[in-house]
Amino acid sequence: MKPELPGFYYDEEKNRYFPIKGPIPGAKSSSSSRTKQKPDPKPEQETNYQKRTKIKALKLVYSRELNGNVIPVNKKMSNFKDEIQKTQASYPVVWRYGSTEDIGDTALKQFQVDVQTSVGLTRKNILVAGSAGGCLSILRVSKDRQVYDGVIECDPVSVLPRKENDTEEPEAPEYIWKPAQPCLVALSTISSIELIGRFDASENSHPVNRALITTLGSTGRGGSIFILNVAEEVNILITRSLQGNVSSECTIWTADCNISGSHAAIGTDLGAALVDLETGKGSYFLRSKSDVFTLQFHQSGNIVHCGLRNGAIVSVDLRERPGRPFPRLTRHQIRYQSSSKTGQTTTKKQWFELQGNINPSHVIYMPSSVTCLKTLKTSDQYLMASSMDGTIKLYDQRMVKRGVGVQTYEGHVNSHTRIEFGIDPSERFLMSGGDDCYTRIWSIKSGQLMSENKFSNSVPSVVCWSADERQRDHQKDSISHGAWLGSREAIFNLL
């Protein structure tokens, strides 16, 4: 009898020791031993900037005390203020407001107004909200909880970060109240809300007291334009009838106002038109068989950037139009191109026609329908656009090679929704909701995804920042620097 050895057994036939662990030589292998063990799945890439970089705000403060505003971060030198803002974007704080369902899912805009009341001129903050059901509501916004007659208080509830059972409810940065009845119930969806004129604190101008409201239109009835005057306690809504060669039966998808507030550009299913807001007279400056889903005035007021359903982005010059009331627009045959997310551009064997004062070589192409576009105020040569396939890109309009963005923002999810993204007043961050009901924040400069969070059960389809950065710096009673998000479920405030 052979002596026992720890971890081994003795085979009488082969007259030798074999280890107990592992397969026995000559023995039949079991099905489990034949199956190769699958490697552990790779962990998903961390989307939170602060977790990904392992940077904490407290460490940044300590580093600033030792090194000043320029601090070392991950073996590189960085600005303290920029890093603090990135950590805040990584962990946004979000409130949901009760009694705000189905009132701000298609258009949302906040601004300050001077209202003539019984006690004199009073400055107020209001949030104008439009819904797919055609309701236009004017909500009162205040930092302090107050009691108002004839309005409904929309109770804020903290939804992010997730509240623990034994923690107290944090105080909301803003409180809002909505009227018992909306100021307008239209026959179709509220498609856009735009301020008429611009507030500039550096020039001591008066706050904006008027807003342009457009409706989409319904079967057999075109879209409408309204002028909302909030300079009185009783809000005045004036219908502006379209005149000239602008069809009264067209669908109005979007609108924007020039800086002076004298004219508005509207995007329709027939093209884009310029409308005099005082008289309602207008004419088309761009004709297209593809709907103009989104547009924006250039800061100069001489150019309008238009995003089309077919994915093209065209810049139309308003200056060189003939002096005739309804000029003949120049026809252009443009080869249709589509650019993929990888940056490669393919040319299809088909053409589409545009009429207007445009440069065909300067047309930018998105992979699918353009849902939103905005120019950066710090450098108006940069144009940011999103399309319905989930692509978001930043373009430099001075580049000779068109269609290749200088920055791409990965992670956005969209397939069929007209989602409006938002850019913060400092133009450091981009925010957008997605078809998956997540809200994402990116760094505009680096393209990094700062955070993605789901706090709504419906698509956050519109974003508006509270105020211009210069206004916050000059006004003591300025509104917070957070953002408002609108969805069918509710209106949210995000800091």
Does the domain at 101-494 match CATH 1.10.1040.10? Answer given as: no
From the number of C-beta atoms within 10 Å of its C-beta (0-12, 13-18, 19+), residue 449 rates as buried
* Torsion on CA atoms 248, 250, 255, 259, rounded to nearest 10: -40
User: How far, rounded to the nearest angstrom, does the alpha carbon of residue 363 sit from its chain's CA centroid?
Assistant: 23
* Cβ atoms of residues 305 and 291 within 8 Å: no
**CB crowding 411-444: b at 16 or more within 10 Å, else e:** bbbbeeebbbbbbbbebbbbbbbbbebbbbbbbb
Ranges assigned E (strand) in 302-448: 303-308, 312-317, 331-339, 345-356, 364-365, 370-375, 382-387, 392-396, 407-408, 422-423, 429-433, 439-443
Which helix (DSSP H) or strand (DSSP E) does residue 59 occupy? helix 57-67
* Cβ atoms of residues 24 and 16 within 8 Å: no
pLDDT digits (tens, 9 = 90+) for 352-403: 899 999 988 889 999 999 999 999 988 888 999 999 999 999 999 887 565 5
Phi and psi at residue 86, to the nearest 5°? -65, -40
CA–CA separation, 281 and 263 (whole Å):
10
Tell which residue, 183, 168, 289, has the closest CA to residue 230.
183
Query: Mean pLDDT of all residues in the chain?
Result: 80
Q: Which token pair is 45? A: 């890439």
CA–CA separation, 235 and 367 (whole Å):
42
**pLDDT value at residue 80:** 63
Q: Match 């329908």 to its residue by tokens.
A: 369
**What does 289-343 look like in DSSP terms, one character per residue?**
SS-EEEEEE-TTSSEEEEEETTSEEEEEE-TT--SSSSPPPPEEEEEEEEE-TTS
**pLDDT value at residue 49:** 59
**pLDDT value at residue 32:** 41
* Torsion on CA atoms 226, 231, 234, 237, rounded to nearest 10: -10
From the number of C-beta atoms within 10 Å of its C-beta (0-12, 13-18, 19+), residue 365 rates as buried
* Cβ atoms of residues 286 and 245 within 8 Å: no
Residues of the chain with pLDDT under 50: 22-45, 62, 65-66, 201-204, 322, 325, 468-480
**pLDDT value at residue 85:** 76
pTM score above 0.85:
no
pLDDT digits (tens, 9 = 90+) for 441-475: 999 998 999 999 999 999 999 999 875 433 444 34
Query: Could you tell me where in the chain the CATH 2.130.10.10 domains are found?
Result: 101-494
Please state, in angstroms and as integers, the Cα–Cα distance from residue 488 to each residue in 65, 412, 435, 457, following that order: 46, 19, 13, 9
pLDDT digits (tens, 9 = 90+) for 30-68: 444 444 444 444 344 455 655 555 555 555 554 554 455
